[in-house]
Amino acid sequence: MRRDPTQVALLAYDDLCTFEFGIMVELFGIPRPEFDHWYHLRVAGLERGPMRASGGITVETPHSLRLLDHAGTIIIPGWRDLDAPVPPVLLGKLRRAHDQNARILSVCSGTFVLAASGILDGKRATTHWRFSEQFTERFPRVHLDPDVLYVDEGNVMTSAGSAAGIDMGLHLIRRDYGTVVANSVARRLVVPPHRDGGQRQFIDAPVGSDDDAFARVLDELRSNIQRELSVQSMAHRAKMSTRTFSRRFKAATGLTPHRWVQHERVRTAQSLLESTERTVDEVAHQSGFADAQILRIHFKRFVGTSPTSYRRAFH
């Protein structure tokens, strides 16, 4: 049985996580006539309504879990409580949908539902960092990565804290419709098309400083990232001794100057790979790396993939 991935079933349940639910409606449920094709979202009620949702509101839907029997994309927007058992009927439908190659997504604590069904066994996954210890103890067969925004395992995707569901959703839209469409949706949401980190969000978040004077130093260094940036030269630009600069740099950014430079050069390379047709050699030089091979080494370390694969996914 082939399921249409544009047919989306969004789970609703009593004690619903309102924000996670709303994110998915905004991404996949709002008509977008500017595009030739779009998703068709319907809400599948786990219980008969009205179902309570956080914030004192209620949700009703004419559709039951039968939607999960045909939907090509199924979304679990959080879960009502980490210790709340998942009804066997829901677990069974998730397993059946997975066996029929439906795509199944979870936001935040919704990962616990997917793990309870067994479809995450042997796979990578993520959830909110506050839940990582409980998750690991309860589901030792799942390879949890608590440091990323989302994990894409093909037909199963999991996201971290609530807002990371936006990152995951935009990633799926990019997979389905390409970068231009995903960027357009992101602009409507007034969010970045994707937060730094590439396909699997491995790279650290952009590092700044609360110290205004030091923040200006970082901005100047970013604008010269393609040049030789030794600790000594950076300290000279900041008009500090090397020792003082290194100490203040680590306090301000949480990174050593050397690590920060590598990080910023990879971010620059990502931007060039996404937005230009420059060769990998040209990207390497323009982002401050000596050659393409050194770029590949650092890119793999930070992003988890090669520059060529990254461009294929995000250009």
Q: What confidence category does residue 209 fall into, taking pLDDT thresholds of 50, 70 and 90?
A: low
Q: Which domain holds residue 252?
A: 198-315
What's residue 212's pLDDT? Answer: 60
Residues 25 and 149 in one domain: yes
Mean predicted lDDT score pLDDT of the chain: 87
Residues 185 and 249 in one domain: no
Write the single-letter amino acid at 16.
L
Model confidence at 206: pLDDT above 60: no
Residues 113 and 176 in one domain: yes
Q: How many domains does the chain have?
A: 2
More confident residue, 272 or 193: 272
Return the minimum-mean-pLDDT range out of 4-13, 157-166, 174-183, 252-261.
252-261
Integer-rounded Cα radius of gyration of the chain? 22
Model confidence at 36: pLDDT above 50: yes
Residues 29 and 133 in one domain: yes
Model confidence at 274: pLDDT above 80: yes
What's residue 296's pLDDT? Answer: 93
3-class SS string, the chain: CCCCCCEEEEEECCCECHHHHHHHHHHHCCCCCCCCCCCEEEEEECCCCCEEECCCEEECCCECHHHHHCCCEEEEECCCCCCCCCCHHHHHHHHHHHHCCCEEEEECCHHHHHHHHCCCCCCEECCCHHHHHHHHHHCCCCEECCCCCEEECCCEEEECCCCHHHHHHHHHHHHHHCHHHHHHHHHHHCCCCCCCCHHHCCCCCCCCCCCHHHHHHHHHHHHCCCCCCCHHHHHHHCCCCHHHHHHHHHHHHCCCHHHHHHHHHHHHHHHHHHHCCCCHHHHHHHCCCCCHHHHHHHHHHHHCCCHHHHHHHHC
Residues 73 and 32 in one domain: yes
Residues 104 and 212 in one domain: no
Residue 1 domain-assigned (yes or no): no
CATH of the domain at 189: 3.40.50.880
The pLDDT tens digits for 76-91 are 999 999 999 999 999 9
Model confidence at 249: pLDDT above 70: yes
What's residue 100's pLDDT? Answer: 95
More confident residue, 271 or 62: 62
Residues 179 and 263 in one domain: no
Among residues 195, 218, 246, the one where a domain terminates is 195
Among residues 195, 215, 231, the one where a domain terminates is 195
Among residues 195, 218, 249, the one where a domain terminates is 195
Rounded to an integer, the average pLDDT of 99-115 is 96
The pLDDT tens digits for 141-179 are 999 988 788 999 989 999 998 888 999 999 999 889 988
What's residue 275's pLDDT? Answer: 87
- Looking at the DSSP assignment, which residues form a beta bridge with residue 11? 44
pTM, two decimal places = 0.65
